[in-house]
């Protein structure tokens, strides 16, 4: 998670300086300023709640797989051409434990989950109680990386992930700053870390309430 913050902070700092500079100048915007005027960056915290799933392994064992509830972080960059045309890049992080009702996996398998997704985003030209709504849908990769101490010596595993989100940006303090609240869900094949005795090939859902800070260039 610290790695994600180290990557995000220079971008957020640049966004802040660019926004302040924009507010302080009366000259005509340059091409670069016009480009970045369509970009915002955000650093958000998430709750992580994963649905339990039940299935049968190739060995004929019926098991239930559960992911522990936890917190995570999300770094998002959006580029918006018009209210109905935009793109976003998401880098997410959380750490939680996959538990299985079998196999004497004491304590389950702890893993870092790292999200890399791209999506299509719209910002309807309206406000709701002063907040600006937005909606997005996209896909990418969710990489499960077992930890060195609690990961049961399992291998890293990547899953295709699909997501959607609904958000509201609430202006605060300055025109280049907002607070974002929202909700997103991810859909993906439950991880088995390449171990056939816990493979059930069932899709699960992770639900994430979101709150964070957004900087507009």
Dump pLDDT digits (tens) for 182-196: 999 999 999 999 999
Position 25 scores a pLDDT of 47
Position 173 scores a pLDDT of 81
Long-range contacts of 120-126 (CB under 8 A, 24+ apart): 120/86, 120/87, 120/88, 121/78, 121/80, 121/86, 121/87, 121/88, 122/83, 122/84, 122/85, 122/86, 123/80, 123/83, 123/86, 124/83, 124/84, 125/83
Position 28 scores a pLDDT of 67
Average pLDDT, the chain: 88
Dump pLDDT digits (tens) for 196-207: 999 999 999 999
Q: Which of 70, 54, 68 is nearest to 204 (CA)?
A: 54
Dump pLDDT digits (tens) for 83-94: 999 999 999 999
Query: What SS3 state is found at 2?
Result: helix
Position 208 scores a pLDDT of 98
Show the domain range for 31.
2-216
Does the pLDDT of residue 152 top 50, yes or no?
yes
Q: What is the mean pLDDT of residues 55-77?
A: 96
Which of 16 and 66 is assigned the larger pLDDT? Answer: 66
The encoded tokens of residue 103 equal 């196999």
Does the pLDDT of residue 169 top 90, yes or no?
yes
Q: Which of 136, 193, 196, 137 is nearest to 161 (CA)?
A: 137
Query: What SS3 state is found at 68?
Result: coil
Position 175 scores a pLDDT of 79
Does the pLDDT of residue 97 top 50, yes or no?
yes
CATH for 31:
2.40.160.20
Count of domains for the chain: 1
Does the pLDDT of residue 23 top 50, yes or no?
no
Position 66 scores a pLDDT of 95
Model confidence at 14, in pLDDT bands (50, 70, 90)?
very low
**Beta-carbon neighbour count of residue 192 at 10 Å?**
22
Position 174 scores a pLDDT of 79
């Amino acid at each position: 998670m610290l790695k994600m913050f180290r990557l995000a902070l220079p971008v957020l700092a640049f966004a802040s300086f660019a926004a302040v500079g924009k507010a302080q100048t009366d000259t005509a915007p340059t091409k670069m300023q016009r480009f970045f005027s369509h970009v915002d960056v955000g650093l958000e915290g998430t709750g992580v709640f994963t649905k339990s799933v039940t299935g049968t392994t190739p060995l004929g064992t019926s098991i239930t797989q559960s992911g522990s509830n936890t917190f995570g972080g999300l770094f998002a960059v959006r580029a918006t051409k018009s209210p109905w045309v935009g793109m976003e890049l998401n880098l997410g992080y959380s750490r939680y434990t996959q538990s299985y009702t079998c196999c004497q996996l004491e304590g389950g398998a702890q893993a870092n989950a790292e999200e890399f997704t791209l999506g299509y985003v719209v910002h309807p030209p309206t406000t709701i109680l002063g907040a600006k709504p937005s909606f997005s849908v996209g896909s990418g990769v969710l990489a499960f990386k077992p930890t060195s101490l609690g990961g049961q010596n399992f291998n890293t595993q990547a899953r295709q992930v699909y997501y959607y989100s609904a958000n509201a940006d609430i202006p605060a303090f300055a025109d280049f700053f907002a607070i974002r609240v929202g909700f997103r869900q991810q859909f993906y094949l439950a991880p088995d870390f390449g171990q056939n005795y816990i493979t059930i090939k069932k899709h699960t859902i992770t639900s994430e309430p979101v709150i964070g800070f957004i900087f507009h260039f």
